[in-house]
Amino acid sequence: MSPDRAAASPPSALAAAAATLAAKPLCLNTFRENVVLLARNNPLVRPERLAGLRKVEVVAGGVRLLASPMICDDASLVDAHEIGLPQPAFRRLGVQAGDPVHIAPARPARTLDAVRAKIAGEILSGDDYAAIARDLAGHLWSDMEVAAFLVACAAFMTPEEALALTRGMIAAGATLDWKRPMVVDKHCIGGVPGNRTSLIVTPIVAAHGLVMPKTSSRAITSPAGTADTMEVFARVDLDEAEMRGVVERCGACIAWGGRVNLSPADDVLISVERPLSIDTPEQMVASILSKKAAAGSTHLILDIPVGPTAKVRDRRAALRLKKLFEFVAGGIGLSVEVVLTEALEPIGRGVGPVLEAHDVSAVLENRADAPADLREKAIRLAGRVLEFDPALHGGAGERRARDLLESGAAHAKMMQICEAQGPPPTTAGCGSLVHEVCAGAGGHVASIDCLRIASVARLAGAPTDPGAGLELLRKTGEAVRAGEPLYRIYASEPADFGFAVEAAAEDNGVQVSS
| Residues numbered 287-316 forming contacts with its own copies, rule: CB under 8 A | 311
Active site residue 373: no
| φ, ψ for residue 468, nearest 5 deg | -85, 155
Q: Which one of 208, 322, 458, 475 is in contact with its own copies (CB under 8 A)?
A: 458
b/e string for 274-293 if b means 16 or more Cβ within 10 A? eeeebbbbbbbbbbbbbbbb
- Shortest reach from residue 26's CB to its own copies, in Å: 7
Residues 386-445 that bind its own copies (CB under 8 A): none
CA distance 377 to 344: 13
Which one of the listed residues 228, 266, 267, 279 is annotated catalytic?
279
Considering the complex, what minimum distance in angstroms separates the CB of residue 52 from its own copies?
3
Residue 34 in the binding site for its own copies (CB under 8 A): no
Shortest CB 264 distance to its own copies, Å = 16
> Contact 371/362 with Cβ under 8 angstroms?
yes
Helix (H) or strand (E) holding 503: helix 494-506
CA distance 157 to 278: 15
Q: Applying CB under 8 A, does 142 fall inside the site for its own copies?
A: yes
111 binds its own copies (CB under 8 A): no
Shortest approach of its own copies to residue 213 CB, angstroms?
26
* Binding residue (CB under 8 A) for its own copies from 95, 101, 150, 176: 150
Judge contact between 329 and 289, C-beta under 8 A: yes
H helix intervals, 172-280: 198-208, 226-233, 240-250, 264-276
Task: Among 61, 100, 209, 275, indicate the residue that binds its own copies (CB under 8 A).
Answer: 275
Q: How far is the CB of 19 from its own copies (least distance, A)?
A: 9
Q: Where are the alpha helices (DSSP H) in 96-216?
A: 111-119, 126-137, 143-155, 159-171, 198-208
Burial call 116-155: b when 16+ CB within 10 Å, e when fewer: bbbbeeeebeeebbbbbbbbbbbbbbbeebbbbbbebbee
**Shortest reach from residue 313's CB to its own copies, in Å:** 10
CB of 458 to its own copies, least distance (A): 6
Options 58, 104, 364, 486; binder of its own copies; rule CB under 8 A = 104
Identify which of 4, 265, 33, 264 has the alpha carbon closest to the alpha carbon of residue 109.
4
Cis peptide before 463 (omega within 30 of 0): yes
Stretch of 252-260, 292-300, 458-466, 469-477 contacting its own copies, by CB under 8 A: 458-466
Cβ nearer to its own copies, comparing 351 with 414: 351
28 near its own copies, judged by CB under 8 A: yes
Q: Is residue 189 part of the contact set for its own copies (CB under 8 A)?
A: no
C-alpha 63, offset from chain centre:
26
**Toward its own copies, which CB reaches closer, 111 or 202?**
111
Smallest separation (angstroms) from its own copies to the CB of 24: 12
Is there binding between residue 109 and its own copies (CB under 8 A)? no
Residues in 252-271 that interact with its own copies by CB under 8 A: 271
Least distance (Å) between residue 437 CB and its own copies: 14
- Contact flag: residue 158 with its own copies (CB under 8 A): no
Sign of the alpha-carbon torsion through 7, 12, 16, 20: positive
Query: Is the CB of 143 or the CB of 240 nearer to its own copies?
Result: 143
Size of interface with its own copies, in residues (CB under 8 A): 91
* Nearer to its own copies among residue 296 and residue 461 (C-beta): 461
C-alpha span between 84 and 64 (Å, rounded): 16
| Nearest CA among 154, 135, 142, 116 for reference residue 265 | 135
Q: Report the site for its own copies in 40-99 (rule: CB under 8 A).
A: 40, 46, 49-54, 70-74, 77, 86
Stretch that binds its own copies, among 26-34, 59-67, 261-269, 371-379 (CB under 8 A): 26-34
154, 182, 340, 392: which one binds its own copies (CB under 8 A):
154
Asked if residue 365 binds its own copies (CB under 8 A), the reply is no
Residues 6+ apart with CB under 8 A from 325: 285, 288, 289, 302, 336, 338
**How far, in Å, CA of 301 to CA of 298, rounded?**
10
- Nearest distance from residue 288's CB to its own copies, in Å? 16
Q: Which of 90, 388, 487, 499 binds its own copies (CB under 8 A)?
A: 499
DSSP per-residue string spanning 184-195: EEEEE---STT-
Q: Is 339 in the site for its own copies (CB under 8 A)?
A: no
- Verify binding: residue 464, its own copies, rule CB under 8 A: yes
Nearer to its own copies, 84 or 383 (CB): 84
Would you count residue 276 as binding its own copies (CB under 8 A)? yes
Q: Are 241 and 261 spatial neighbours (Cβ–Cβ below 8 Å)?
A: no
Interface with its own copies (CB under 8 A), residue from 143, 326, 376, 398: 143
- Pairing mode of beta strands 299-306, 184-188: parallel
State how beta strands 469-472 and 350-351 pair: antiparallel
Q: Quick check: 7 binds its own copies (CB under 8 A)?
A: yes
Separation CA 429–CA 466 (nearest Å): 8
Candidate segments 141-149, 249-257, 345-353, 392-400, binder of its own copies by CB under 8 A = 141-149
Stretch that binds its own copies, among 103-111, 235-243, 361-369, 391-399 (CB under 8 A): 103-111
| Neighbouring-strand partners of residue 485 | 438
Residues 6+ positions from 105 with CB-CB distance below 8 Å? 45, 49, 50, 54, 56, 57
How far lies 1's CA from each of 50, 55, 112, 113, 119, in Å?
22, 21, 12, 10, 11
- Compare residues 147 and 412 and give the one whose CB is closer to its own copies: 147
